[in-house]
Structures are given as structure tokens and as C-alpha cells.
Structure 1
């Protein structure tokens, strides 16, 4: 049974009094989820929105938003992801750019400057209360709303340059990704009493995949707005969870806090994805808590993970292969190629390519990633960097060019440069330097940070900005990111 049929059956047959989603220690029953989903589908039908039409969802980590996603996919329509993390002007521009005929969003989001107007300029705005009630907030769906046949989700991701793009994930891709990850029902039972924690943003592939995995397997979902150590520990203890997923930054947070071993006693395994996990971090967690950390590798374009560790592999190979991202999952092939596209010998470093039904191109086409990797003789893949300039901050991808453009919009900034500074907990953080326009007033760092906060997502805002008369340059006149980082480190050392 695929995810679309599975969601349809849950919305029609799940017992109304069964627990579905816990949020802030309060349970939403399946009856409550079904009521919200039904109201959303009724609103689509009343608006004349055809099957396979696109529906924008400003997706927050809340139960009513899970119900909306379930309703859209189950009804045969397509979820267009819109991030609530964006500043108002950027969110409004994103809505205007992708122009879905209907947008569903929370009350607070629609109240932001310019957002409701951007929605109603193209279509219908549906307001979603925290209690799950759905109301028309303005506008109307166009008579001939465009459709996106076969696509379940237009997933928000970051391109190598420019504004975020959307990857179109088909129903078949989601089904294959869930199957590859072992997230299919073990029996004909619709629901189970087991529970799984979702703390990653639903608007990103990690959070969406985990929430769909809960629904696909009938597990109860414990939904957190984000990872915060103490609330996360209480969830693990209260539900006696056996498995959780932690990004490298969260793993380090647990270790740095020296969490007592007994608070994690129920855990048997931790999975880690979204960013490369340093070998010493995964091994340190394993040695401290005797809990294996199973790394995974994937991307939005693949609807989830395509490689990873199993518990059996960890028991056999960990001492020898610590630091690897694991082996290709069933139905997935991996290879490493050179600049000319030719496959490289075993153990050579090159650009990683993937062939799987989880890609939009299908199971017969090799898809080149932006990651540099090597694959050893036993089939374990090692991620060794990126072929682009993306900065991975705690699992979130930051494009330097986007941050650079925001800084260069300031009248006193002649040129800006952005680089990734190694960070013990987050992996990397973006830092920036600006060159002052001759004859202009020298801008303050606080002023530049405020500009970034107004136009960027929180994780894209530079952790540090230095103001210079001239940016450091290579002999070819390009900005030297190596020297830029040296300048930032020196300034940090002077202010420590």
C-alpha cells in the first residue's frame, strides 16, 4: 500500500479515540486529525480545486499542519512547501513566485506584512487555527487552477546559486524512499502502540520523511517544534523510546551536557543524517552511552536517504569503518566519477552519483550530486566534502551567494564575501566580510546583522561579520576565503 492510499485509509478508518500526535504533552486523537483533514478537503471541493492541483502549505511543526499535509496528499493533490522560517517579505515573494491557487497557513503567518496579499493576489487563503479549525481568509481559487500530475510534494530545498528551488517528488519516489528505509507496515494493522519522535522541521525533507514514516507504519507521532535538550530528554524518558534521530549538532549537545546515561537507557540506536557526522563524534557518543550511531546519506532530490548503516553492519564493521556514511540501501546504486564523467577506481575521490527509483529521473539514470566521496572495496561510502560552496550549519544548508547578495544591497557595501567557519557543535557557521564603498559611511556590524535578520532565515544569518576597507584577494583578484577566515579568527581571538 503506497503512502497516498495509506493516508486515505487512515483518514477514513483510524479509530477516532486513538492517539495520533503528541505536541506539548497534549495528544491529538485520530478523530481530531480526521476532522481537520476533512475540513481542508471540504474547502478544496467548495473552491472547485481539481485533483492534482497545487496547494501551498506554510508548514509548521504542529499537529494541525500534519493533518493538512495528510489531507492534500490523500486527496490526490500536491503539497507546495512554504517555509515559516522566512522573514515576511521573503515569504510573500516566495508565494508570489510559485503562485499556488490555494495556500493554507496559520493565523500568525497570514498576519505578517504582505503575506495575505501575496496569497490572495494569486488564489485562495485558508487560515488554520491551532485547534484545527479552517476558515477562508480571503481571495478565491482560479477557475482553471494548474495541476501537477503525479507529484505529491514540491519540496523546498536550496540550489547551488540563487533563491531556494523546489524539487518535485512523485508519489512513487516517496513510496520507494519509505520502502528503502524500512518504513512500511509490518502487518495489516492500521495502527500500532509504538511511538516515534519528530523534531526536525517538517518543511525540510528530514522532518517530512519522518512524519510520513510514522503515518506509513501506524506509529504514534511525538512532534516537537525543534530539538531542545531538556524537553527532548523528557520525551525519550516518558515514552521509553528505543530509536531516535539526531543531527550531528544535537549529538554534540547531548555529549557536551554530559547527560547521565540512565536518562538514555531505553535507547537502542540513534540515526544521524542531514549533515556529515564526524567519526569522532559518532564514536564518542557510542563509547559514552553504548548506543550505536547509524549515519545515513540522502538528499531532498532523493526523497530521503539512499545509503546508511544497519545495526548488524555497525556490530561487524564499526571499528574499521567509523566515519563512513554506510552502504547503499536496497534498490540504490552508488558510484564515484571524475570531471569527465567516467567512473573512478575503488577508493578514489570524485563526485558521487546515484541511480535509484527515488530520483525524478528514474532507476535507469545516474544522477550527479554535489558531494565529493569515495567508495571502498566493501561498498562503504565516505563523504569527503562538497563540489559547491554550500555551508552546512547544523544540518541546514546555507548558500554563500544568497547571504552575499543581501549584504551587498546595503548602500555602504561595495562587495561582500561569505565563508564557512568550522564550529565544534554545528559543523560550520557562515561568517562574512564586507568592503566599504569609498566615500560612504562605514556601516556598523549590528546594522548589517539586522539587515540579514530581516531578509534571511535564522540559520542563514552570519555568526560574525567584519567590516574592511578592502577584502583579502588572491593574485587573480578573487576574494581569498582562506584569508577571510584568518581575519575572522583573529578578530574573535581579540574579543575573547
Structure 2
């Protein structure tokens, strides 16, 4: 391999089954095995379902949905992490409708946009989440749009008393059919609807769990938001694939999740960096013993080597760093437990099987030489069908050879390991030199005073752009901290990469999938709204 093109491996074989067929197969194999643990909508009562019970519940949901929407039609679900969410996910798959996963924090204009864009005729919704009156907003939106609105409190409307044999007989069998619509979180403009297949969801879950060496029968704690693929694919279908249990967390609170990990004797944790960082900080402040994990797997943003090492030390876990995006359902690469330690800390591993990867020059589209950075592109079973009702955006993202252009920058080595170097839109160009923020962020993340950091470019008349660091500290800034951080960077980075501006925030503006909205930080800095570190 002399160019950055890596063809996909062909083993193990792909699973050719639908989401519903996966559940049915697992239920037939071991019906009494615990499959799902969660809390119920409305009263928060704990629910524990075996595989047989989960399949029966899902078929009752499919029966009710078959009376509300025709196969292939979009059915929107607007709810937090209640146990009804995965039950409805399976039920929608068995009914052959397309489940539209919506963020429970959406405000009315955002909800109106999503429902109008996907042309849903049915909205299933929670009544409240974290003090937000979702029921009132749903009523207003549904009345204005003429939608069929069903509250999760109206159980008999979205769940039949018993499965209908005709609906069960008509369960989808085509893995290439659409099953879910996910809206990209986005940082600018309206979100795009990403349409995904059964085959993509089932196999990404299957091959990701295999790459992570998740143990058979694993109890898996899932604190990630269900409206995103990391949770409803990896965190939900993943435990089913390995014959284990999904423990769904309704509302993330670090100490409660630590207790849950101990109580359920969990062996797998799904994370994003914000979750893992909060758990590490809570455990450090706790007198209770740390829960012991076999695997912690996640991604969604840059996971610093410092955080990976800390999780290994504190929880004893093999920390799996995943990379991908919603358009890839959502995993492209993963580190493996038997990777060299340097690869686990400094790369996002190798591609999952059956996916081709290339690195291209963003300007020319040509494949770059091996080891050179460029835009990461992927082609395989997991890629989206397309952006719903947006052929132009699909054509701009998927090239003539069928590769999805991710907008992320990275470099492949001769072994097939991928190292991320930044986001195409987040490169800082200082005096003609390209500077990738992740390198600087990883450097600063290793400093004891820094809890989290985001590096952005700010306009400058002479340099074009200058480097600015926005930090969240572990405590109040000590005297001389700025000079200390500059010295820390100077020992580890080239001079042109050392931040020229330093700011302190209490919290970062985040997307729904816990990515820092760097454009908002840059805008706030430009308006003089950020507190400078002096």
C-alpha cells in the first residue's frame, strides 16, 4: 500500500437480517435471558424485560403502529431515555415503518422543522423531560400540522394488547430496506435527515462489538441519548448481538451511574468523552471502590490519550476509541484491545470489516500518498441511503465512486491505522500553515489544571488566523496559570501552534451529541464575551 486507499477485509461475513429478525433470533435462542433494563415513562418505575418479553412487547407495538402508519412511512419518536424508546425502536422495525429519532430538547420551531421535513404523519412523544413540557409543545405542533399525536402515557394507542398474527407474518425480511431516520446535530444551518438501512444498523452493532471484544452475555450500561445512533445502534443492538443486557440510563448523573455500574455488575460502558470525564472526576472524589469494567467504548469527539489512560487506570477497562458519523451508522474505525498501547492512545484504530477507506486531498479529490493527511472517505454496508429529500446534499457528500466524504481529516499508516488530524472546517490557517486543533487540545488536556479544552481559530489581520485556547479548569485559576500553560505547550509543540489567546469558560456550548460547538466559541470571543485567562 503506497497510497492512502485501504480495501475492506471480507471476514467475518455480514449478517443478512433485519433489526426485528435479530431480536426474534435472540429470543428464540434464550427466551429467559434478561435483555433490557430501564425506567418507565411517567412514573420512573424500573422495568426488566427478558428477550421473550421484549419481543412480545415489540410485536404488540408493531401491531398498534400498523394501524397508525403504512410500511415505509415515517413515524417520529420524541422522548428521553425511557424504556419505551428501545421497545418502540424494535416495534417500528417489526412494523416496517421508518422510525424518526428526535432529540427531546428540541424547541417548537426545531420540532416543526423536523416533522415537516420528514413528512411524518404520526408523532409519539413523552409528556415531560427535565422540566420541559413536551406534551404541550407536541399538542401545539401536531394540531397546527394535522398530525396524529400519541403520548407515551396513552399506552393502548401505541401498544396493542396482543400481537396480530397478520402483522407478525408481514414482518420485514429485506435488510436493505430503510428502518431509521436520524437528524445530524449540525453546527450551522438546518440539520439533514440521514436515512439508514436495517443491514447498516445490525452489522455496525455486530462488527463494533466484535472489534471491542465485548464478552458474550455482557451487561452493558448505556447512558447515551437514544435519539443518536451511538445509543440506539451500538448501545441497544450491540448488547443484543452479544447476547447480553442493555441497562438504559434515563438521566446521566455521574454518581448514580457509578452506583448502577456496581449494582448491575456491568462489564461494558458506552461513553462519549463528556460522560467518561464526568465519571472519572466523580470516582476520584468518591470513597466507594471504582466499578470494574472489561470494556469502555465510545467516541463522538476527540478522546484524549490522558482520558483513555485514566479510564484504564481507574476502571481497569480496555478503552475502545470509536470513530465515525451518523452517515456511517455510526462507526467506521475502532481500536482493539490487543492493539499496541501507543495505537490505543494516539489513533482511532483500524476500519471495521467490509468497508473501503481512502484519504483524499480536499481540494483535488485525489488519493494522497500513504501517511499524508487528507479528508477521510468511506464506502461500505454501513453508509446511509442518502439525505432525505435532499439529492443535492447527498451528491455533495457521496462521490462518483460511492465514497462518503466525512469532512474529517486524518492519515492512514501502512498497517491501516487511522490517526485523526482535525475537521476540514476547523483547520486553523496561520500565515499559510495548517494547524489542526486536536494536537493542541491533547497537549493541554494533559495539564493537571485543565478539565477540558477547545482550540479555535480567530481572525487576525497579519496572520490570517491565530490560535486561541478555551479551557474549562478543575478549579479557580491560580496566579501565573497562563504562563504555566504556555510553557507546557512550548515544551511539546512547535512555536506556531502555541495559543496566542487564552479564555476560560464554566461550560462549553455543545451539540446534542456532546460535541463542542467551536463556531459559537469563536463568535463569543470575537464579541468580547469570553473571560480571558490572564
Q: Which residue does 2:304 correspond to in 1?
A: 278
Q: Which residue does 1:311 correspond to in 2?
A: 337
Report deviation, 1:348.
0.9
Which 5+ residue runs of structure 1 have no aligned equivalent? 137-148, 187-191, 401-418, 427-451, 467-480
Match of 1:228 among 253, 260, 265: 253
Distance in structure 1 (CA, Å) of the matches to 2:347 and 2:513: 30
Q: Deviations over 1:131-174 (max 9, x none)?
A: x55369xxxxxxxxxxxx92100112134641111100011212
Match of 1:4 among 20, 28, 35: 20
Written as runs of structure 1 = structure 2, the 5 A alignment for 1:121-270 is 121-129=145-153, 132-134=155-157, 150-159=177-186, 161-182=188-209, 194-209=218-233, 210-257=235-282, 258=284, 263-270=289-296
Q: SS of the counterpart of 2:137?
A: coil
Q: Deviations over 1:274-296 (max 9, x none)?
A: 11111222123334554332211
- Conserved in 2, the CA contact under 8 Å of 1:355 and 1:366? yes
Name the CA shift for 1:358/1:232 in 2 (closer, same or farther; >3 Å).
same
Distance in structure 2 (CA, Å) of the matches to 1:105 and 1:13: 33
Match of 2:351 among 328, 336, 350: 328
Match of 2:403 among 341, 366, 369: 366
Distance in structure 2 (CA, Å) of the matches to 1:305 and 1:320: 18
Q: Deviations over 1:409-461 (max 9, x none)?
A: xxxxxxxxxx99644589xxxxxxxxxxxxxxxxxxxxxxxxx99xx979799
- Conserved in 1, the CA contact under 8 Å of 2:65 and 2:158? no
Distance in structure 1 (CA, Å) of the matches to 2:26 and 2:157: 20
Written as runs of structure 1 = structure 2, the 5 A alignment for 1:63-82 is 63-82=83-102
- Conserved in 2, the CA contact under 8 Å of 1:89 and 1:114? no
Which 5+ residue runs of structure 2 have no aligned equivalent? 1-14, 160-175, 386-397, 428-436, 442-453, 457-466, 475-508
* Structure ranking higher on relative contact order (CA contacts 8 Å, 6+ apart): 2
Report deviation, 1:27.
2.8
Distance in structure 2 (CA, Å) of the matches to 1:383 and 1:286: 21
Q: Which residue does 1:484 correspond to in 2?
A: 525
Written as runs of structure 1 = structure 2, the 5 A alignment for 1:403-414 is none
Name the CA shift for 1:357/1:193 in 2 (closer, same or farther; >3 Å).
closer
Distance in structure 2 (CA, Å) of the matches to 1:250 and 1:134: 35
- Conserved in 1, the CA contact under 8 Å of 2:321 and 2:344? no
- Conserved in 2, the CA contact under 8 Å of 1:126 and 1:134? yes
- TM-score, normalized by length of structure 2? 0.65
Name the CA shift for 1:70/1:344 in 2 (closer, same or farther; >3 Å).
same
Match of 2:48 among 28, 50, 61: 28
Distance in structure 2 (CA, Å) of the matches to 1:266 and 1:43: 41
- Conserved in 1, the CA contact under 8 Å of 2:74 and 2:119? no
Name the CA shift for 1:262/1:117 in 2 (closer, same or farther; >3 Å).
closer
Distance in structure 2 (CA, Å) of the matches to 1:459 and 1:6: 29
Q: Which residue does 1:299 correspond to in 2?
A: 325
- Conserved in 2, the CA contact under 8 Å of 1:96 and 1:119? no
Name the CA shift for 1:212/1:236 in 2 (closer, same or farther; >3 Å).
same
Name the CA shift for 1:270/1:39 in 2 (closer, same or farther; >3 Å).
closer
- Conserved in 2, the CA contact under 8 Å of 1:55 and 1:103? yes
Report deviation, 1:488.
4.5
- TM-score, normalized by length of structure 1? 0.70
Name the CA shift for 1:16/1:374 in 2 (closer, same or farther; >3 Å).
closer
- Conserved in 2, the CA contact under 8 Å of 1:28 and 1:63? no
Report deviation, 1:265.
4.8
Q: Which residue does 2:381 correspond to in 1?
A: 357
- Conserved in 2, the CA contact under 8 Å of 1:373 and 1:381? yes
Match of 1:348 among 363, 372, 381: 372
Written as runs of structure 1 = structure 2, the 5 A alignment for 1:397-436 is 422-424=470-472
Distance in structure 1 (CA, Å) of the matches to 2:114 and 2:345: 41
Distance in structure 2 (CA, Å) of the matches to 1:16 and 1:73: 22
Report deviation, 1:197.
1.0
Q: What CA RMSD, in Å, does the superposition of the two structures yield over aligned residues?
A: 4.2
Report deviation, 1:17.
9.3
Distance in structure 2 (CA, Å) of the matches to 1:12 and 1:287: 39
Distance in structure 2 (CA, Å) of the matches to 1:17 and 1:487: 57
Name the CA shift for 1:459/1:421 in 2 (closer, same or farther; >3 Å).
farther
Q: Deviations over 1:319-347 (max 9, x none)?
A: 36622111112112322111201111122
| Equivalenced residues, count | 407
Name the CA shift for 1:371/1:4 in 2 (closer, same or farther; >3 Å).
same
Distance in structure 2 (CA, Å) of the matches to 1:39 and 1:120: 30
Match of 2:77 among 51, 57, 61: 57
